[in-house]
């Protein structure tokens, strides 16, 4: 089952056409540039899963939110307590975030790392900014007990499955309750 959509946008006289083919939940996007470099993320933002979560169009297990940042439970965690910290503005590349937004993301990450430490008592906290899975800047904040916990080795070996909704809610509430202690 395939569905194709054409999205056009214009900016400064340049135009970009995006053709999106959807098959079994995977997106394949091909861009055709009519003129040099059109960077209008409007069409991409409409499809971005994190933008939809920020706009409350999709459910999430929120732990922390302010005007600039949202943090919620990863539904496919590497370890229990794995959070995603995202800026509310759509930017696929963290190095292109306005420095003020970047600082808010890192400040929230710092606070949340302390909250996770207080709530779940892991040995260490791991932090990863990769952006390959969802093209929206985000920080993976992962409680770790072992040096291999920061990788997906545990998931690949099938040692742990995805947590239930109840488990995610319980962990989110535990972490949120410890945020004030981490300020």
> pLDDT tens digits for the chain (183 residues)?
333 333 333 333 333 333 333 333 333 333 332 322 334 545 555 689 999 999 999 999 999 999 999 999 999 898 899 999 999 999 999 999 999 999 999 999 999 999 999 999 999 999 999 878 899 999 999 999 887 777 655 555 655 678 899 999 999 999 999 998 877
Q: Are residues 31 and 70 in the same domain?
A: no
89 plus 162 within the same structural domain = yes
- Whether 74 and 149 map to the same domain: the answer is yes
Residues 57 and 137 in one domain: yes
Kindly report the pTM of this predicted structure.
0.70
Q: Are residues 82 and 14 in the same domain?
A: no
Q: What is the 3 state secondary structure string of 17-49?
A: EEEEEEECCEEEEEEEECCCCCCCCHHHHHHCH
Same domain? For 64 and 102 the reply is: yes
Domain residue limits at 150: 48-182
Spell 87-118 as b/e; 16+ CB within 10 A means b.
bbbbbeebeebeeebbebbeebbbbbbbbbbb
Q: Domain count of the chain?
A: 2
């Amino acid at each position: 089952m395939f569905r194709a959509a054409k999205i056009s946008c214009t900016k400064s006289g340049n135009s970009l056409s995006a053709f999106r083919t959807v098959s079994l939940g995977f997106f394949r996007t091909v861009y055709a540039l009519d003129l040099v470099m059109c960077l209008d993320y409007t069409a991409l933002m409409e499809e971005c899963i994190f933008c939809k979560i920020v706009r409350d169009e999709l459910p999430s297990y929120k732990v922390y939110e302010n005007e600039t940042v949202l943090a919620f439970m990863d539904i496919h965690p590497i370890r229990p307590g794995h959070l995603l910290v995202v800026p509310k503005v759509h930017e696929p590349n963290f190095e292109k975030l306005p420095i003020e937004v970047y600082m808010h993301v890192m400040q929230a990450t710092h606070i949340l790392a302390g909250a996770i430490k207080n709530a779940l008592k892991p040995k260490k906290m791991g932090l990863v900014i990769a952006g390959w899975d969802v093209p929206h800047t985000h920080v993976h904040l992962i409680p770790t007990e072992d040096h291999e916990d920061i990788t997906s080795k545990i998931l690949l070996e099938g040692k742990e499955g995805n947590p239930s909704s109840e488990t995610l809610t319980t962990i989110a509430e535990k972490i949120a309750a410890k945020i004030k202690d981490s300020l």
